[in-house]
Structures are given as C-alpha cells and as structure tokens.
A = this chain, B = another copy of it.
Amino acid sequence: MSWNSFGHVFRFTTWGESHGPAIGAVVDGCPPGIALAEADIQPWLDERRPGASPLTSPRREPDRVRILSGVFEGLTTGTPISLTIENEDARPADYAGMPHRAGHADRAYEAKYGVRDPRGGGRASARETAARVAAGAVARLVIPEVTIAARPVEVGGSEDEAAWDRLIEAAQAGGSSLGAVVECVAKGVPAGWGAPVYAKLDADFAAALMSINAVKAVEIGAGFDAARRAGEDNAGRAMAGGILGGIATGEPIVLRAAFKPTASVAALGVKGRHDPCVGMRGAPVVEAMVALVLADHKLLHRAQCGDDG
C-alpha cells in the first residue's frame, strides 16, 4: 500500500517492466520454517502464462522463477524472499515509434512522469501480474488451512461457459477483445481474521483486486445485488460473502472482479501482442492477490490476538 508494495505485516514489493530484462517480487515478513522451493511457485506461473491456450496472447516466454534469498536448505528463514523472472522474449521493437494507444495507460504515465516508456505498457502491463502470482505462491504456503479457487463466471457478457471459446475467437478474428468477470471463493478462513475499520478484510481485498490492471469493479458477497435487497435477506448472512464488519465469519469468502477488455486491439493498428480476453487469464492473479491478503491478515490477527485469538 505504498507505491509498489502491498500488505501490512506480510508485505511484498514488485518491480519490473514488461520489456526490460526481468521482473520480480520481494516477499517480506514471511514466517520462518516453511518448506519453499522454486517448484512450489512454478506451476502457478505456468497456469498464468500467456500462450497456454490458443485463446490467449501468443507471447511465450517460459517464466522461470528463481529464488535469490530467504531460503536455506529448503526452508524459509524469515528474511526477505527475492523472486525473479527473466523476460526472455521481450520485443521492444514492436512498440518503437508507436503512437499513444487509446484507452491505454501510456498517456496517463506521461502526464504524471513526463517520461514515456512505450515498451509494452510498462508497469501497467499484464506482465507485472506474473510477479504477483509468484508472491502469491509463497502466500499460499503461509495459509495451508485455506483453499482458494477463482474462475471466470462471465465472458463478453455471457454466463454460458460453452459459448466463451467461440466469443473469444470471434473477437480475435475481428481485432476486438472482451471483458470478463472472475469469481473467487476462499474456504477455510477462520472466523476472526480481519479488522474493523481501514484494515477491513474487504477493504484490503478491494484494494488488492482493483490494483490488478484492467479491473474496474470489485464485489464482496452479494455486491451490487445487495443494494437491491431488503433487510430481511441480510439477516440470513446471504449478502455478507463471509465478511461482516471487516472480519471473517468463518463461512466461505466470495469475491468478484470485473476485467475490462484490453484496448489495444488490432483495429488500432498496434503490433504489440495482447489478449483477446485478458480476464480469461485473470483467475490466477485474483487467486494470488486473495492469498496475499489472507496471509497478511493471518499474521496481523496473530499479532493482535495471539495464536488462539
């Protein structure tokens, strides 16, 4: 929750541009004594990887993660865990001389920094999310009591899963792109994690998911639908999504994030590689952010209330 860091006690910092030599994350505050190897992280990166299906961007770097610190003889030591992923397939030439892309963050960056890095979106690129996924893989090991599962529930406005491939192919063929809604359910979160006001569990989830590039909306539990219900329904906790007053109730936590379609479609004459539906790749990133928030709140709760609190 500072520039490029997130978390209160279990904190991580990400760095790197999509077309520089590497990207990475530093995970700080990780408990010691947790078994951690590159093989614990790699599968999550492979799942996130573009090019894993014909329906996503053809960029194909292997995304090999390296652990550079914080682990000794297979166990975390409690010191910062530095994770790096080299960008083997960077092609900045694709972007040379290209104009500002409409709907892209380039112009906003230039307004802020007075410096323009046209290479693949800079920090606003989907590639930054690989560092989150790597950090999230560490977070998962901190919260073995929790299972987290995210999946698209809506693509291009359709909730019919069977139709999605066709919709995406059509968008791709037409140089267009589609939005998506990703839903995430976290089970096993003990009642009591969270905090009542500005470190509310739901506020941290909202920040975590809204910080993902392309996300424009976040819901907890019934979300916007809650605004359409009457108080009787609320009594049944149906709306809560596992969080009341910022604190986990022990029931499954339910979150949704809306991904807008990418703007840099072929119709705009841009040669850079982009997804026809970035939301399809959003699920592993959403899971990673949810894991990172929960690992942080596990530690935060333990800080204030002790192991049995």
Taking Cβ atoms with an 8 Å cutoff, the residues of A that contact B are 1-6, 8-9, 11, 13-17, 20-24, 26, 28-33, 66, 68-70, 72, 75-82, 84, 102-109, 111-115, 117, 119, 121-124, 128, 154, 156-157, 171, 176-181, 191-200, 202-211, 213, 216-224, 226-237, 239-241, 243-250, 258-265, 267-268, 279, 299-309
- Contact check, A180 vs B304: say whether CB atoms are below 8 A apart: no
**Residues in B whose Cβ lies below 8 Å from that of A75:** 115
Closest B-chain residue to A14, C-beta based?
Answer: B197
Closest B-chain residue to A229, C-beta based?
Answer: B179
Known: A33-B113, A217-B220, A261-B234. A69 touches B20 (CB 8 A): yes
Taking the closest CB of chain B, its distance from the CB of A243, in whole angstroms, is 8
- Contact check, A241 vs B216: say whether CB atoms are below 8 A apart: yes
**Residues in B whose Cβ lies below 8 Å from that of A16:** 68-69, 80, 82
- Contact check, B68 vs A1: say whether CB atoms are below 8 A apart: no
Known: A206-B218, A207-B204. A2 touches B11 (CB 8 A): yes
A66 to B119, CA, bound (A): 20
- Contact check, B196 vs A69: say whether CB atoms are below 8 A apart: no
- Contact check, A156 vs B80: say whether CB atoms are below 8 A apart: no
Known: A211-B246, A216-B239. A306 touches B300 (CB 8 A): no
- Contact check, B211 vs A200: say whether CB atoms are below 8 A apart: yes
Partner among B23, B234, B279 whose Cβ is within 8 Å of the Cβ of A69: B23
- Contact check, B191 vs A108: say whether CB atoms are below 8 A apart: yes
Taking the closest CB of chain B, its distance from the CB of A208, in whole angstroms, is 8
Stoichiometry (number of copies): 4
Known: A105-B244, A108-B194, A112-B78. A217 touches B207 (CB 8 A): no
A5 to B213, CA, bound (A): 25
A203 to B222, CA, bound (A): 20
Interface centre among A232, A241, A308 (most CB of B within 10 A): A232
Interface centre among A3, A70, A76, A303 (most CB of B within 10 A): A3
The contact sample of 8 A-B pairs, CB cut-off 8 A, is A2-B8, A17-B69, A31-B304, A103-B240, A109-B247, A123-B197, A157-B228, A177-B234
Taking the closest CB of chain B, its distance from the CB of A294, in whole angstroms, is 14
A261 to B222, CA, bound (A): 11
Taking the closest CB of chain B, its distance from the CB of A68, in whole angstroms, is 5
**Residues in B whose Cβ lies below 8 Å from that of A265:** 231-232, 235
A245 to B210, CA, bound (A): 11
**Residues in B whose Cβ lies below 8 Å from that of A203:** 206-208, 210-211
- Contact check, A79 vs B123: say whether CB atoms are below 8 A apart: yes
Partner among B3, B29, B33, B236 whose Cβ is within 8 Å of the Cβ of A80: B3
- Contact check, B229 vs A260: say whether CB atoms are below 8 A apart: yes
Closest B-chain residue to A82, C-beta based?
Answer: B15
- Contact check, A258 vs B26: say whether CB atoms are below 8 A apart: no
Partner among B5, B102, B106 whose Cβ is within 8 Å of the Cβ of A198: B5
Beyond known contacts A22-B69, A200-B211: 18 more, CB 8 A cutoff: A1-B1, A1-B8, A15-B26, A16-B80, A17-B69, A17-B72, A32-B115, A79-B122, A79-B123, A102-B236, A105-B245, A179-B229, A204-B207, A226-B258, A227-B279, A234-B262, A302-B306, A306-B307
